[in-house]
Amino acid sequence: MRTQRTGYWVGFVVVLGLLTVAPLVLPEFWRRFVTEILIWGLLAMSSDLLIGYTGMVSFGHSAFFGLGMYGTAAALLALGPPNLWLALSSGLVSAAVVAAFVAYFATRLRDIYFAITTLVFSQIFYVIIFTWTDMTGGENGLTFSQPPFSIPGLGSGRFTPVTLHWFVLGVVTLSYLGLRRITQSPFGMVLQSIRENEARTRAIGYHVERYKIVAVMLSGLFAGLAGVLYAIQNKFAAPDFVLFLVSGEAVIFNVMGGMGTLVGPVAGAAFFLLLREAFSRFFPEYYLIPVGVIFTLMVVFLPQGLLGFLRRRLNA
């Protein structure tokens, strides 16, 4: 056990070191690509808290992600000089409010009914954002200036592609450590108990609905944080990111990488995005066909995802 834990932290430090050095050696396109993988990986981890640990498939994460983007955009456009921390706080509050609203209603249902309800909510928010042109810009979205990085009392400076990557890496790393602590805590153990046998968890005295509500809110908060980072990197917010298709991609990341692992969904996001990028260069109009075939084969032959496959190979 101690050897496995040591190996885990050694691997963690190595990967973190490689990601830290990556923007210094990669060309501009791939530097930006790696930064986006980190952001989508954070969205995948937030989804994994529900899918992998609580056993609740959510198609509403696009709403949390998108409202994080729009909350950031609104703060930067309406509240004077660009302020990174104010924008981040605004995006998180927007996502948290929406997550609390969705959690209150959706957690009253189970299984496929929960999934459908979250999908409906994501579509409701998509329609609101798409049609409320005066506030959201409609289909054109909102564009804004990138806020400078600032530390109170120490000064500020504009982001460069390298420093932005380091900022995103720092936020995603802290988010991963936070989610890991949550899943390994007594609260996380109860979530896994709900996943395995909800009726028995309720029978031994746990208020299952409350745990589900908190799980959805935490998951939505981290999904909103991913939306904040994406908005800051790309300097815009668009209704397409509230569409349920983004939630579907988050589910795909989990299936490809390995659910209930946190690390697996990040690997799944990286693998999926690399596949899409590679095939789009050779088959610009039909690249989703080979990606879909590979995903189907993985579901059939690698049901535990990439991380599960690697674990079996290492333990063989």
Q: From start to end of the chain, where are the E strands?
A: 142-143, 149-151, 155-157, 236-237
Give alpha helix (H) positions in 26-109: 28-51, 61-78, 84-106
Q: Domain containing 47 — which CATH number?
A: 1.10.3470
Residue with more model confidence, 215 or 283: 215
Percentage of the residues of the chain whose pLDDT score is greater than 70: 96
Q: What is the pLDDT of residue 244?
A: 86
pLDDT tier, 5 (very low <50, low <70, confident <90, very high otherwise)? confident
Q: What is the pLDDT of residues 236-276, one digit of tens each?
A: 899 989 988 899 999 999 999 988 888 989 999 999 999 99
Q: What is the pLDDT of residue 132?
A: 87
pLDDT-above-90 percentage for the chain? 47
**Residue 136: what pLDDT?**
86
Q: pLDDT class for 95, splitting at 50, 70, 90?
A: very high
- Give the side-chain half-sphere CA count within 13 A for 298: 22
Contact 141, 238 (CB under 8 A): yes
Contact in structure between 67 and 98 (CB atoms under 8 Å)? yes
Nearest by Cα to 58 from 203, 267, 215, 278: 215
Give me the domain span that covers residue 236. Answer: 2-315
Confidence of residue 152 (pLDDT cuts 50, 70, 90): low
Q: For residue range 6-41, list pLDDT tens digits in order.
A: 777 888 889 899 999 998 898 888 999 999 999 999
CB-count exposure of residue 281 (10 Å: 0-12, 13-18, 19+): exposed
User: Is pLDDT above 80 for 164?
Assistant: yes
CA–CA dist 267, 253 (Å, integer): 8
> How confident is the model over 113-117, as a mean pLDDT?
90
pLDDT of residue 281: 84
pLDDT of 182-221, one tens digit each?
Answer: 999 999 999 999 998 888 999 988 888 899 999 999 999 9
Q: Total domain count for the chain? A: 1
- Is there a contact between 60 and 243 (Cβ–Cβ < 8 Å)? no
Angle between helices 61-78 and 111-131 (to 10 degrees): 30
pLDDT of residue 107: 85
Residue 247 to residues 79, 137, 205, 225, 264, Cα–Cα distance (Å): 30, 22, 33, 15, 17
Quick one: angle between helices 263-282 and 305-315, nearest 10?
110
Q: Is the pLDDT of residue 170 over 90?
A: yes
How many whole angstroms separate alpha carbon 257 and alpha carbon 269? 7
